[in-house]
Amino acid sequence: MTTINDIAKLAEVSRTTVSRALNNSGYVSEDARKRIMKIVEETGYMPSQSAKSLRTKRSGVIGIILPRLSTETSTRVVAGINEELAKEGFQILLTDTELDKQKEIDYIRLLKSRHVDGIILLATNVNEQLIKAIKDVEIPVLAIGQELPGVPSLVYDDYHAAADLTNMIIQKGHERVAFIGVTKEDPSVGGLREQAYRDKMEQSGLEVQESWVGEGDFSIESGYEQMKSILKRSKGNEPTALFAVTDRMAIGAMEYLKEQGYRIPEDMAVVGIGASAMSKYVTPSLTTIDYHNAEAGKKAAHLLMRKLKNEKIEEKFELTYRLISRNSV
Amino acid sequence: MTTINDIAKLAEVSRTTVSRALNNSGYVSEDARKRIMKIVEETGYMPSQSAKSLRTKRSGVIGIILPRLSTETSTRVVAGINEELAKEGFQILLTDTELDKQKEIDYIRLLKSRHVDGIILLATNVNEQLIKAIKDVEIPVLAIGQELPGVPSLVYDDYHAAADLTNMIIQKGHERVAFIGVTKEDPSVGGLREQAYRDKMEQSGLEVQESWVGEGDFSIESGYEQMKSILKRSKGNEPTALFAVTDRMAIGAMEYLKEQGYRIPEDMAVVGIGASAMSKYVTPSLTTIDYHNAEAGKKAAHLLMRKLKNEKIEEKFELTYRLISRNSV
DNA sequence: CTGAAAGCGCTTACAG
DNA sequence: CTGAAAGCGCTTACAG
């Protein structure tokens, strides 16, 4: 492999000068610079990032920790992050926790040992150990999706998004609205969205029957199963609308409803959240919320870049959303 | 940051010994080992990978070059790769070419400068410069999706998959089969799949009218537009079935057909390739081919790991596929 | 079983 | 404007 020493020799200067020329740091005569660049060109020399990083303590790499690689939401966020980061010459080191909380913590440490300059965490839960691990790691960490105390966080406005959706259903004349949520360990998706649903029902003077409320696990299948259970539990007292906290669960529920001969939205209105590609192409198309995930990713990358430059950034950013009205309501 | 020197001091041994203990290389007395491990535990010490990599020339990182982060196919492959790699303690450095051929080449060099131990390339095209860049880079490269001469390649069996699909349509009694492909610069998706379609039509004594053949760009929208054009071009001579080389284009085409009041499959049968999540939930559900992308990713990672251990691996691997018959035919 | 020393490829005060 | 030297944090022959 060609190293800076080879370049120095060929250009007949010291490696100090080569380094200066390459990094535009300090003075280098036009003559020397030209010779150096020519050699660099010819040899296709690329500085060893390991050596550079060892010396400078910066790597040009940002670590990403995400819950599941194969979900549309994560992918969009990562695409957004990457787009922004690539502009600044940064690369992404990717880790996937497979929803394992311990791995989340392990990966923070691991990424540090790999000298990443910062970490973006697509958070799915909030717990003490996680917060502690982030504090200990001493490198900039930015969370997306959950508000982590003491950590700059980019959050979706889950409460108002869910509130808008619930209100919309109610305004359409529904009084019996079912709900499929997820575990409360996920404060944003499991907590806030359900809270908004309950608040808005109550504020409209509507009662929430607990038989209408189910808990899925994000999967399409769980939406299917929960819809089935809800219908079974509420025989003779069935809901006329369903709010599922993710598109995938909404689509699972629609599958079951269609199998059972329900017409959507006539017999049962359905809404989800996420604006997945699928939501547009199922029949009927699904009313949902677009969280602009790619924008969130870009914003996160941008904020992190600012933080790396030691600029002050706020602790909490709330992202915007958009309700997409389609044919399932 | 704690370094190996700190550990050595605290454990009252030399850093040589610490290194040996940590890497299980060479002899270390049980006593010393215990003291070292205790300190490591307490301090949460993690060796600097930059230093390690500078010294050993290995980084424990595999670079991935992919055409588009936000496609289901890529994501599944990456998830498979990651799953396999994580087991061996490897991480992924991700780069996205955004379908730019020059970036593909640049990233190969860049990944080398970052000391990745190997590269997995999700290839979308084949050209001289790319092959040359791979040769020059001197680190193991593995291609998925295209057969790159001289580069170990994992390929889907595009020809037979497309042939099976065409035959199936023909067996259902269709004689007028339309086709939406992509650019031939992508030999696998653009070349092989179309070739199989034409071969099978011919072998069945059926004619391919050029007005039935369109070229999209992988997007849903292009499927929609191409279907529109095909129908316009072939007025009075319309096809009764469509083979789109990707699910997304098939789904776009279905959208247009539904808008125009065509019944699927009665008025027009439609098939795609890819087994996207969407394909299962559109109405009617789409007949397609499952390429087992996650398995492909795992296999690729596995082969690359073997190559890193200097085992011999074959030049070309052909992957299996499965035809999923659903309701669109 | 253990340690001193060299060296991986860079950058950065420092001196000129 | 330029270069010699030190040092980043590791590993690995080598010698004992």
SS (H, E, C) B88-153: CCCEEEEEECCCCHHHHHHHHHHHHHCCCCEEEEECCCCCHHHHHHHHHHCCCEEEECCCCCCCCE
How many Å apart are CA A131 and CA A151, to the nearest integer? 8
Strands (E), chain B: 61-66, 91-96, 118-122, 141-144, 153-155, 177-181, 213-215, 241-244, 269-271, 288-290, 316-318, 322-324
What is the band of A31 on the pLDDT scale with cuts at 50, 70, 90? Answer: confident
What is the pLDDT at residue A269?
97
Whole-number distance in Å between B211 CA and C9 C1': 61
What is the pLDDT at residue B310?
85
A239-261 pLDDT per residue, tens: 999 999 999 999 999 999 999 99
Residue A214 phi, psi dihedral angles, 5° rounding:
-125, 165
What is the pLDDT at residue B162?
98
Strand B91-96 to A91-96 pairing: antiparallel
Contact B79 A96 (CB under 8 A): yes
How many Å apart are CA A87 and CA A98, to the nearest integer? 29
Q: Which residues of A touch B (CB under 8 A)?
A: 1, 44, 46-51, 53-54, 59, 61, 69-70, 72, 75-76, 78-79, 82-83, 86, 91-96, 109-110, 112-115, 136, 138, 220, 251, 255, 277-278, 281-283, 294
Compare CB distances from B114 to A91, A255, A277 and report the shortest one's residue: A91
Task: Flag whether pLDDT at A284 surpasses 90.
Answer: yes
What is the pLDDT at residue A327?
97
**For residues A293-316, average pLDDT:** 92
Strand A61-66 to A118-122 pairing: parallel
Q: Is B78 exposed, middle or buried (0-12, 13-18, 19+ CB in 10 A)?
A: buried
A208-231 pLDDT per residue, tens: 999 999 999 999 999 999 999 999
Contact (Cβ atoms closer than 8 angstroms) between residue B180 and residue B233: no
Assigned CATH for B56-156+293-319: 3.40.50.2300
What is the pLDDT at residue A26?
77
Closest Cα in chain B, distance from residue A69 (Å): 6
How many Å apart are CA B207 and CA B192, to the nearest integer? 19
What is the pLDDT at residue B190?
96
Assigned CATH for A158-290: 3.40.50.2300
Please name the nucleotide lying closest to B15, CA to C1'.
C3
- Examine domains B56-156+293-319 and B158-290 and report if their fold is the same: yes
How many Å apart are CA B247 and CA B250, to the nearest integer? 5
Whole-number distance in Å between A103 CA and C4 C1': 39
What is the pLDDT at residue B25?
81
Please name the nucleotide lying closest to B54, CA to C1'.
C8
Assigned CATH for B4-47: 1.10.260.40
Cα A209 to chain centroid distance, Å, stands at 32
Q: Is B162 exposed, middle or buried (0-12, 13-18, 19+ CB in 10 A)?
A: buried
Q: What are the strands of the beta sheet with B91-96, ordered from one edge?
A: A316-318, A153-155, A141-144, A118-122, A61-66, A91-96, B91-96, B61-66, B118-122, B141-144, B153-155, B316-318
Answer for A43: CB within 7 Å of strand C.
no
Q: Which of A79, A273, A46 is nearest to A182 (CA)?
A: A273
Secondary structure class of B312 (helix, strand, coil) = coil
Token pair recorded at residue B148: 């790159």
Residue A121 phi, psi dihedral angles, 5° rounding:
-110, 115
Strand partners, B153: B143, B316
What is the pLDDT at residue B300?
96
Please name the nucleotide lying closest to A14, CA to C1'.
D3
Where chain B has pLDDT below 50, the residues are none
Angle, in degrees to the nearest 10, between helices A30-43 and A4-11: 130
Nearest-5° angle of CA B70, CA A306, CA A153?
65
Token pair recorded at residue A87: 């502009």
What is the pLDDT at residue A2?
87
What percent of chain A is predicted at pLDDT more than 90? 75
What is the pLDDT at residue A217?
95
How many Å apart are CA A97 and CA A111, to the nearest integer? 13
What is the band of A310 on the pLDDT scale with cuts at 50, 70, 90? Answer: confident
What does the DSSP 8-state code read for residue B70? Answer: T
- Predicted TM-score (pTM) above 0.85: yes
Whole-number distance in Å between A34 CA and D3 C1': 18
Structural domain boundaries of chain A?
4-47, 56-156+293-319, 158-290
Strand A288-290 to A322-324 pairing: antiparallel
Whole-number distance in Å between A17 CA and D4 C1': 12
CA distances from B112 to A51, B137, B141, B240, B318 (A): 13, 7, 11, 51, 27
A255-283 pLDDT per residue, tens: 999 999 999 999 999 999 999 999 999 99
Token pair recorded at residue B33: 């080992």
What is the pLDDT at residue A239?
97
Contact B86 A75 (CB under 8 A): no
What is the pLDDT at residue A44?
85
